[in-house]
């Protein structure tokens, strides 16, 4: 018997085939889906059997919280946490700030980045390695959100670089204000908050928000081009150095 809590606590990954055979786990999932009005009980429910109702409920849930477990066929900590913690599916926004993250060590950040990447649908480990390499460079090895040196004197002040990635220019602050229903234009220093900065770097690198170039353009499956992936952030500035950082992160056991 596997529980949702065990999947989350022990960072387990369950395949779709194994999930379909796990009666106890399916009963837990059906119960939570029912709580969220995504699964209607029949006379014997929760029955712990995979069927159209269960599949549809999981699909609707994953779509609502922006997880791609049905597509990948893998169910892990992000899915378990979301299913356990979501209280009202009607109040799940298109994007949400990961309020569970308030900063920490390099090791804790690596795990937080991996978790947030999975929450946003990134399953390619090399993409996560490159996000970490980018943070290593952009924060000068501090692994903490930082502000651009001399930023207050820049022509684009007060919208100078902040965060794990140096978010710059008013239109970018406005873009993330709209996405997260915050007012970073009025309060730009909020971008320095670790949870907000965590969301921004993962979202921006995944979706090409910063330069129009995105992670999947350079890193996807067997195609791994850490060097040119720098274009996601800033041309080829220090591309070789960040490429080496990414290769070092490939060796980590933190995620």
Grade residue 80 by pLDDT with cuts at 50, 70 and 90. Answer: confident
**Is this structure's pTM higher than 0.85?**
no
What pLDDT sits at residue 95? 63
For residues 132 and 254, is the Cβ–Cβ distance under 8 A?
no
Question: Which value, in Å, is the radius of gyration of the alpha carbons in the chain?
Answer: 20
pLDDT, mean of residues 142-162 = 95
pLDDT, mean of residues 201-206 = 96
Is 18 a residue whose pLDDT tops 90?
Answer: yes
In tens, the pLDDT along 223-253 reads 999 999 999 999 999 999 999 999 999 999 8
Strands 162-163 and 223-224: unpaired
3-state secondary structure the chain: CCCHHHHHHCCCCEEHHHHHHCHHHHHHHHHHHHHCCCCCCCCCCCCCCCCHHHHHHHHHHHHHHCCCHHHHCEECHHHHHHHHHCCCHHHCCCCCCCCCCCCCCHHHHHHHHHHHHHHCCCCCHHHHHHHHHHHHHHCCCCCCCEECCCHHHCCCCCCCCEECCCCCCHHHHHHHHHHHCCCCCCCHHHHHCHHHHHHHHHHHHHHCCCCCCCHHHHEECCEECCCHHHHHCCCCCCHHHHHHHHHHHCCCCCC
Is 114 a residue whose pLDDT tops 80?
Answer: yes
Maximal C-alpha separation, the chain: 68
What pLDDT sits at residue 88? 72
Enter the tokens of residue 92. Answer: 């799940």
pLDDT, mean of residues 128-152 = 95
What pLDDT sits at residue 90? 61
Enter the tokens of residue 244. Answer: 């080496």
Enter the tokens of residue 237. Answer: 């500035």
pLDDT, mean of residues 54-66 = 86
| Residue 219, strand partner residues | 224
CA atoms within 13 A on the CB side of 1: 6
The per-residue pLDDT of the chain, averaged, comes to 90
What pLDDT sits at residue 249? 96
pLDDT higher for 20 or 45?
20
What pLDDT sits at residue 66? 66
Domains and CATH numbers, the chain: 4-91 (1.10.101), 106-249 (1.10.530.10)
What pLDDT sits at residue 12? 85
Sign (positive or negative) of CA dihedral 175, 181, 186, 190: negative
Is 199 a residue whose pLDDT tops 70?
Answer: yes
What pLDDT sits at residue 69? 75
Sign (positive or negative) of CA dihedral 155, 196, 137, 239: negative
């Amino acid at each position: 018997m596997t529980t949702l809590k065990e999947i989350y606590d022990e960072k387990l990954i369950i395949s779709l085939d194994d999930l379909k055979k796990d009666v106890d786990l399916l009963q837990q999932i059906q119960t939570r889906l029912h709580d969220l009005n995504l699964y209607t009980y029949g006379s014997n429910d929760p029955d712990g059997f995979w069927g159209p109702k269960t599949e549809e409920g999981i699909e609707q849930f994953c779509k609502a919280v922006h997880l791609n477990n049905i597509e990948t066929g893998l169910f892990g900590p992000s899915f378990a946490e979301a299913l356990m913690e979501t209280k009202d599916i009607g109040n799940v926004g298109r994007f949400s700030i990961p309020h569970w993250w308030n900063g920490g060590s390099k090791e804790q950040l690596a795990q937080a980045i991996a978790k947030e990447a999975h929450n946003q649908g990134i399953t390619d480990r090399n993409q996560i390695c490159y996000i970490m390499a980018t943070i290593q460079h952009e924060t000068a090895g501090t692994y903490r959100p930082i502000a651009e040196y001399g930023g207050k004197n820049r022509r684009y002040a007060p919208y100078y670089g902040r965060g794990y990635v140096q978010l710059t220019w008013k239109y970018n602050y406005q873009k993330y204000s709209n996405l997260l229903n915050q007012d970073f234009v009025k309060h730009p220093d909020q971008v320095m908050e670790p949870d907000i900065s965590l969301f921004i770097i993962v979202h921006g690198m995944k979706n090409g928000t910063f330069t129009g170039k995105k992670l999947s353009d350079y890193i996807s499956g067997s195609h791994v081009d850490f060097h040119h992936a720098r274009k996601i952030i800033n041309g080829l500035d220090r591309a070789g150095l960040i490429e080496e950082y990414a290769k070092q992160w490939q060796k980590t056991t933190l995620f």
